[in-house]
Amino acid sequence: MNLIICEKPSMGRTVASALGATNKYDGYMEGNGYIVSWCFGHLWGLKDLEMYLDSNFKHGDKAKWSLEALPFYPENWKFEYFISDPGNKKQDKILYQLMKRSDVDTIYASGDADREGEVIVRNEFVQHHITGKKILRLWLPALTPEAIREAVRDARPDSEYDGYDNAGRARAFVDWLFGINLSRYATLKAGTKLNIGRCMCPIVSKIVQRDNEIKNFVPQKYLAVESGDENSPFVLKSKQKFAIQDAKLAQALCDKYNAAGAVVSDITTKISKIKSPRLFSQSDLQSYICKMNKKMSPQNVLDTVQSLYEKGFVTYPRTSSNFLAETETAKADQIIHALTASGISGIENKPGNKNIYDNSKVESHSALTPTEKIPDALSDTEKEVYEAIKNRFCAVFCSEDYLVNKTTIEISCADETFSIQGNIMVQPGWTVFEEPSKKDKVLPAVNKSDRIQISFKPVEKETTPPKRYTVESLNAWMKAPMRGEEDLKKKVYSDEEWKDILADATICTEATRAATLDKCIKEKYIALKDGTYSSLEKGHLLVDAMKQLHIDLSPAKTVELQRQIHDVQLGTLSYISILESTKKIIDEIIGSNTQLDSKFAASITEKKNIGICPRCGSPVYEGKLNFYCSEGKECGFALWKSTKLLESMKVSITATRAQKMLENKKVFVKGLYSKKKDSKFDAFIAYEDTGTFVNYKLEFGKT
């Protein structure tokens, strides 16, 4: 009998269906020679610090933090695990009984195809000391029935994935050491809770730094020399710029150009082929979706792709690559055949095309693609994400080229030449599947030697501050932090940059990036509104505390740790050596026992930050009568603690309720009073924001 242990119930049901294990039992399915069961993600978690010190301490109990307990390291690096949730304990017991069944001779570990998935399922074997069974690894890049059956046939010994397990544990242990020690140390020094994370800190620092640059930016006025406006056939802008006090020089140049006149000196026209964008990595998909839909966050996108993956409609989500392996041409054929059968035309395979197939740019996982399983019913969000992945695949494999007539007109005026370019579509090619990033620009019809009407004049302008990070620009930085700021907009990476990306020399991995950003938001270090990140007061405190307490979790340090964890996966480095170097860093920080004096600590302690303003993304504080936006009258948003409606129901909005309302736009309240019926009832209290007023209303339905 074969036992398959999946990472989550949804994956378990998909695998069971593909293998014919259709008989349902409590916590597993069985049939056709297979038992399929599952974890609920991490059944086993790393113990709290207090659990090492006191055997009676239970997870969730209140603990008094003290500097005397720091730093703390498990003896001989023997990290201990535990299960706290009753539901997890029940499922773990079911798994133990299944693994011990006398008729089970082979166990398949079927966690997600990454480090985390390896650790989650392997913990079941390790914690229960399972021996005498054959243990294989199911590596599932897709969850179609055929892919699952093929993976079962080709399953390799789980020991071949020791590198993934070691790397996953190294990451978890390092994060535990930083989190347990430095979070407590910084919190005790700051007087308010600060969560220190190896990947969180460089992200928050980057956003805080950018916001400080914007805040401290002093605009400089200057004079540009230009001819024409939006109604003119040609807008000519000189390369020369002048200081405000040099207005006479700017005017003299304008006079010179206007006197000389302008003439078309050259016209070149050629048909150019514009390549399609590359297949999606997870970060690229998040950037694309969040740019199109400002209400989506990277975590929303990842959750949606994970759902599509578990239903078998797309390949494994957490990939950093934009390429397919050179051996995947047959799989691409299957997908193209299925899409063609569903009614899509004009796509064909392109074996040997290095823009698509390149082994050097694929490590564990290939780019995100649809599978040959075509969905018939999806939620609106799933449809939006699936269509983006499917359309990008079709664009890449489009049989027709996207051709444009690229025209360049050069206009000479005195001693300066102005170059104006425009494209006109000749053949739509891949743009029938996905809009191009640049729209066509039609130029007016002119001939060589034609004179152009001009009217140059000095135009006063002002330098602008740098822009806040968007989902797209922050993802670009996290994926390639070794790039200079000016290179982040470039979509093409060099071979050396690809080596770094595939070696996880990044800020977070594709598997952890969205969750880390989500945690930064939940910790109220940063806010995400309409696709743009901004720093919050607590984020400034974090950065200030790190600087004063000499906590160096800079991008360079974080990237180096990521490289080392990747080396553990390759088997070229022991994770014990990473733990020893982490211990040295923590010892130096806590050993210095530096005092913290931050202006941000006082303001955060005085004001209770209960959430993020839905209007402007600023912190919301608790006042005497309401919960108000920190931007005051400039924003005007507030949730009042009491109104006539609330008084009539004998209820008020507490800080806890306000927090939930800010997160979900409503909160479920039990025991509301109805004067008309002289009885109590349950309902949602929701708010409606008109832009001027915030009004409460009741909503009824499921809790």
Q: What is the mean predicted confidence (pLDDT) over 647-675?
A: 90
Give me the percent of the chain exceeding a pLDDT of 90. Answer: 77
Q: What is the mean predicted confidence (pLDDT) over 289-296?
A: 93
Distance between CA 458 and CA 245 in Å, rounded? 12
Structure tokens at 103: 């008729």
Distance between CA 413 and CA 420 in Å, rounded? 14
Residue 518, helix vs strand vs coil? helix
The pLDDT value recorded for residue 604 is 61
**Pairing state between β 609-612 and 694-699:** unpaired
Q: What is the mean predicted confidence (pLDDT) over 300-324?
A: 95
- Average model confidence (pLDDT) for the chain? 92
The pLDDT value recorded for residue 605 is 55
Asked if 1 and 103 count as a contact pair (C-beta separation under 8 A), the reply is yes
H/E element holding 546? helix 537-548
Q: What is the mean predicted confidence (pLDDT) over 475-489?
A: 83
Distance between CA 421 and CA 412 in Å, rounded? 15
Q: pLDDT tens-digit profile of 134-154?
A: 999 999 999 999 999 999 999
The pLDDT value recorded for residue 576 is 95
Torsional sign, CA 596, 599, 603, 604: negative
Q: What is the mean predicted confidence (pLDDT) over 464-471?
A: 94
Distance between CA 659 and CA 682 in Å, rounded? 19
Q: pLDDT tens-digit profile of 230-271?
A: 888 899 999 999 999 999 999 999 999 999 999 999 999 999
Residue ranges and CATH numbers for the domains of the chain are 2-168 (3.40.50.140), 186-215+472-573 (1.10.460.10), 221-275+402-462 (2.70.20.10), 282-396 (1.10.290.10), 607-699 (no CATH)
The pLDDT value recorded for residue 606 is 53
Q: pLDDT tens-digit profile of 515-574?
A: 999 999 999 999 999 999 999 999 999 999 999 999 999 999 999 999 999 999 999 999
In this prediction, residue 616 has a pLDDT band, given cuts at 50, 70 and 90, of confident
Q: What is the mean predicted confidence (pLDDT) over 279-284?
A: 96
- How many Cα neighbours within 13 Å face the side chain of 516? 20
Asked if 289 and 301 count as a contact pair (C-beta separation under 8 A), the reply is yes
Query: 610 vs 295, 538, 607, CA distance in Å?
Result: 21, 12, 9
The pLDDT value recorded for residue 61 is 86
The pLDDT value recorded for residue 701 is 74
Give me the percent of the chain exceeding a pLDDT of 70. Answer: 98
The pLDDT value recorded for residue 402 is 95
Q: What torsion, rounded to 10 degrees, do the Cα atoms 87, 45, 312, 519 define?
A: 110
The pLDDT value recorded for residue 607 is 66
User: E strands along 444-525, which residues?
Assistant: 451-452, 456-462
Distance between CA 116 and CA 99 in Å, rounded? 21
Q: What is the mean predicted confidence (pLDDT) over 80-85?
A: 93
The pLDDT value recorded for residue 472 is 94
Give the residue ranges of DSSP H helices in 45-161.
49-53, 86-100, 115-127, 145-153
Q: What is the mean predicted confidence (pLDDT) over 488-500?
A: 82
pLDDT over threshold 60, residue 164: yes
Q: pLDDT tens-digit profile of 111-131?
A: 998 999 999 999 999 999 999
pLDDT over threshold 90, residue 631: no
